[in-house]
């Protein structure tokens, strides 16, 4: 952050950005959220036959605090939506979301009162994967698309702007003073 503050968008900072994005895209740490049958295909995607390690995303973290890619793999009910959102909120920025399968993307065949008709109603989704469930290859393709997005510096999540960050730091300082 400090370098951008000092130099702005110069040749040096944009080159560094590009290098950082290259590192990021090749070391994604997914947070697996296998909440129904898509989860099985997601496991296959991590196993040696399809081997997501080829793309540097093999470190499946079961803590959202250590992940930067959320794979929502399965039917998301209204009751589960709160949980999914909470996990997403716990992930550090920058972060990306894959909506895997028909149910997650649109409610799929569950056109009913209990299932959210697409998780984009409460989450910013970067890539949708078609299929019921999708083949692991399809999920690999989604991962490659996420990598392209990262290289371009895009994310649907809204990281804090510099101004908002400063504001929050000031607020924290004031609160700290009050607490002391």
- Contact status: 90 vs other proteins (CB under 8 A): no
How far, in whole angstroms, is CA 153 from its chain's centroid? 14
Contact string (CB under 8 A) for other proteins, positions 115-134, x = contact: -x----xxxx----------
> Whole-angstrom Cα distance, residue 87 to residue 79?
14
Picking from 127, 104, 109, 130, the residue whose alpha carbon sits closest to that of residue 34 is 104
Please identify, using beta-carbon distances, which residue of 97 and 146 lies nearer to other proteins: 97
Nearest distance from residue 82's CB to other proteins, in Å? 6
- Contact status: 79 vs other proteins (CB under 8 A): yes
Please identify, using beta-carbon distances, which residue of 112 and 180 lies nearer to other proteins: 112
**Axis crossing angle, helix 38-46 with helix 136-151, rounded to the nearest 10:** 70
- Is 31 buried (19+), middle (13-18) or exposed (0-12) by CB count in 10 A? buried
Please identify, using beta-carbon distances, which residue of 5 and 79 lies nearer to other proteins: 79
Interacting residues with other proteins (CB under 8 A): 78-79, 81-82, 85-86, 111-114, 116, 121-124
């Amino acid at each position: 952050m400090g370098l951008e503050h000092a130099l702005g968008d110069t040749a040096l900072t944009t080159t560094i950005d590009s290098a950082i994005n290259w590192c990021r895209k090749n070391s994604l740490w997914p947070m697996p959220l296998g909440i129904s049958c898509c989860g099985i295909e997601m496991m296959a995607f991590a196993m040696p036959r399809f081997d997501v390690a080829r793309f540097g995303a093999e470190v499946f973290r079961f803590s959202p605090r250590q992940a930067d890619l959320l794979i929502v793999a399965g039917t998301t009910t209204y009751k589960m939506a709160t949980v999914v959102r909470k996990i997403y909120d716990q992930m550090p920025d920058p972060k990306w979301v894959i909506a895997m399968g028909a149910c997650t993307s649109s409610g799929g065949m569950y056109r009913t009162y209990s299932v959210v008709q697409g998780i984009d109603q409460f989450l910013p989704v970067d890539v949708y994967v078609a299929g019921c469930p999708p083949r692991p290859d399809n999920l690999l393709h989604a991962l490659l698309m996420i990598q392209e997005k990262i290289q371009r510096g895009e994310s649907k999540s809204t990281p804090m702007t510099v101004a908002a960050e400063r504001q929050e730091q000031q607020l924290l300082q004031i609160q700290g003073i009050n607490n002391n």
